[in-house]
Chains A and B, each alone.
Chain A
Amino acid sequence: GQQVMQIPQYQHVQEGEDFTTYCNSSTTLSNIQWYKQRPGGHPVFLIQLVKSGEVKKQKRLTFQFGEAKKNSSLHITATQTTDVGTYFCAHPGGSSNTGKLIFGQGTTLQVKP
């Protein structure tokens, strides 16, 4: 269906290590969005990827959209304690194009100082 699988569910890293979360869909996606949710907070938009094979960077964060537009990844280089939170991928689902977002299960990142 429209679900996206996100792995891993949890990741504990030492500060300075890299981190990657992956999002996979069985169907082609029109676009994929990434959100970050700090503990106790709300989802905050990070980026949207639209084109096949697209790669975008935001400082230490690198986002990729697969060639088939069925998978995406978020890579953080040299994690910092401020990176702590849950990272969700999400895509606009539904045939009615209402803009509803279908979220992955999220990857919760813990960074040990």
Chain B
Amino acid sequence: EPEVTQTPSHQVTQMGQEVILRCVPISNHLYFYWYRQILGQKVEFLVSFYNNEISEKSEIFDDQFSVERPDGSNFTLKIRSTKLEDSAMYFCAGGLRQQETQYFGPGTRLLVL
């Protein structure tokens, strides 16, 4: 069964450094998302991506964040200058149709020191 993959599984970085989180969604999916989950809290929406552009972003997704899908396969989330409060688990998700099932990747645990 196809699944979403994410790399790295863990990332430790210094405050102010740039990080790129990578995701390979399921190949026939059309809608893509990034969510984050601070330890012990709920899953929060960051951004949705469709037809090679951002379709919606949350208040969390400020100018330090960007996403791209450069080659039709990888879907990346970049944080330009990390802050301590960016420490969280970041999940990539995808779906075939909006408002229906989303398939989540295993996540990248980001720790900003």
Give me the interface of A with B, judged by CB distance under 8 Å. Answer: 30-31, 33, 35, 41-45, 48, 88, 90, 92-94, 96-106
**Alpha-carbon distance A102/B104, docked complex (angstroms):** 14
Contact of A43 (CB < 8 Å), options: B48, B58, B91:
B91
| Tier of interface size on chain B | 20 to 34
Q: Which residues of B contact A105 (CB under 8 A)?
A: 41-42
Q: Is B33 in contact with A42, judged by CB distance below 8 angstroms?
A: no
- Which residue, of A33, A44, A45, A105, has the highest number of chain B Cβ atoms within 10 A? A45
0/1 interface trace, chain B 36-74, chain A, CB 8 Å (1 if under) = 000001111100101000011010000000000000000
Known: A42-B106, A99-B31, A100-B33. A30 touches B43 (CB 8 A): no
Q: Is A42 in contact with B56, judged by CB distance below 8 angstroms?
A: no
Q: Which residues of B contact A106 (CB under 8 A)?
A: 42
B103 CB within 8 Å of chain A:
yes
Residue contacts A-B, CB under 8 angstroms, 8 given:
A30-B99, A31-B99, A33-B101, A43-B104, A93-B45, A98-B55, A101-B33, A101-B102
What is the distance, in angstroms, from A107's C-beta to the closest C-beta of chain B?
11
B98 CB within 8 Å of chain A:
yes
Q: Which residues of A contact B103 (CB under 8 A)?
A: 45
Contact of A97 (CB < 8 Å), options: B58, B98, B101:
B98
Q: Which residues of B contact A100 (CB under 8 A)?
A: 33, 45, 48, 56, 58
